[in-house]
Amino acid sequence: MAALLEIAQIGQEVLTTPAQPVIEFDSPDLERLIDDMLLTVANSNGVGLAAPQVFQSTRVIIVSSHPNARYPSAPNMLPTVMINPIILTCSTEKELGWEGCLSVPGRRGQVERHKSLKLEYCDKTGTKLIEEFEGFVARIIQHEIDHLDGISFLERVSSSSAIVSEKEYQKICDS
């Protein structure tokens, strides 16, 4: 049975250490990690989660875009497990957008990201897939891959004035 996992908070070493690739796909430990991450992201109103955020330094992310209290206008998609993701190409066009993070509670920041990308990743059986993503989902993927590389969205904001509290972010969204 899946269990809720504790989410690492900014300043903890696991969030600044590059994660290791998954080598063994037919593993009860990997299956348990995926099930636990799916439950944890759903329970936290998140749209994405990287294994380092739950203290596992392995290259696994969940992308789970859906409208919720934190992202009311997020597009709907089924939760997708992406193992050993590699961005193959990115659009030259970028866009500025607000990001938050379960590991950085209470803060939002404006981050410039590529509008679209082509991604290679493995599903939980180890099957390689290549897909293209755009808009908000492409933003989630870039954010979560940053976690795999030990990078926080706070390192991507253009200036400290581009970081606001959750309360101020909500005022911006309501105006």
Positions marked catalytic: 144
**Distance, CA of 122 to CA of 99 (rounded, Å):** 26
Of 170, 171, 172, the closest CA to residue 69 belongs to 170
Q: What angle do CA 156, 77, 109 make, to 5 degrees?
A: 20
**Distance, CA of 48 to CA of 61 (rounded, Å):** 7
**Distance, CA of 58 to CA of 149 (rounded, Å):** 10
